Amino acid sequence: KAGVTQTPRYLIKTRGQQVTLSCSPISGHRSVSWYQQTPGQGLQFLFEYFSETQRNKGNFPGRFSGRQFSNSRSEMNVSTLELGDSALYLCASSPRDESTDTQYFGPGTRLTVL
Amino acid sequence: AQSVSQHNHHVILSEAASLELGCNYSYGGTVNLFWYVQYPGQHLQLLLKYFSGDPLVKGIKGFEAEFIKSKFSFNLRKPSVQWSDTAEYFCAVNADTGFQKLVFGTGTRLLVSP
């Protein structure tokens, strides 16, 4: 099976712009989670989607949003970018929405905000 | 709120040395525990996980971890490390709430010298 894929892999934006990142889960996986990884804060949970519904949300401002499509693919959007949004954004998929399930991570999208 | 502590931020070992990385979590309920590894230039991969049963779990590449409930700990061990184990190791907790939300520790960078 192909792994989790994320596009684009690298992105450079300027402050105030918005950005959309895409994630394709492993075939058959229905849960998609997003994480932000920075040197200072480490890996932090953004949100989780299952069956096109946001099931859980981390402690991030409303500028961060996401959605999931009927084929389980997911997108996350960041509006009004700030310098501090520069990070590696990781997507992870799992078969179900169960906390015992392993989450399989993609390679990430590295976002740089100038 | 859950939290995860990894007390060793950087570890340097020679090949064949034994490894133990500490992980402590803060959460009063049932938890599912994970160790992930990130090799240089690669994405996060699962090493092992615990959610019930034998508290000593074995993972890939000779790694094992022991869940000690009374100490809220899930330490990672390997009897003899190899140069190829050079990577960053993350401990993570997923509270048994029915949702997917991994809370990660800050990570431990392991450097194994040949």
Whether A45 contacts A37, CB under 8 Å: no
B1 has pLDDT over 90: no
Contact list in A for residue B45 (CB cut-off 8 A) is 105
Looking at residue B100, its pLDDT comes to 81
Q: What is the tens place of the pLDDT at every residue in B3-61?
A: 999 988 999 999 999 999 999 999 888 889 999 999 999 999 999 999 889 999 999 99
Instruction: Give the residue from A21, A24, A20, A19 showing the smallest Cα distance to A3.
Output: A24
Instruction: Give the single-character DSSP code of B43.
Output: -
The reply to whether omega before A8 is within 30° of 0 (cis) is yes
Question: Using CA of residue A90, residue A94, residue A99, residue A105, what is the dihedral sign?
Answer: negative
**What CA–CA distance (Å, rounded) separates A52 from A50?**
5
Question: Which two tokens mark B44?
Answer: 């996060």
Q: What is the tens place of the pLDDT at every residue in A9-26?
A: 999 999 999 999 999 999
- Residues in B whose CB is inside 8 Å of some CB of A read 32, 34, 36, 42-46, 49, 51, 90, 92, 94-107
Whether A106 contacts A90, CB under 8 Å: yes
Residue B7: CA count within 13 A, CB half-sphere: 10
> How far B82 CA lies from chain A's nearest CA (Å)?
24
Please state the separation of Cα B20 from the chain's center in Å: 9
Q: What is the tens place of the pLDDT at every residue in A37-93?
A: 999 899 999 999 999 999 989 999 999 999 999 999 999 999 999 999 999 999 999
Contact list in A for residue B46 (CB cut-off 8 A) is 102, 104
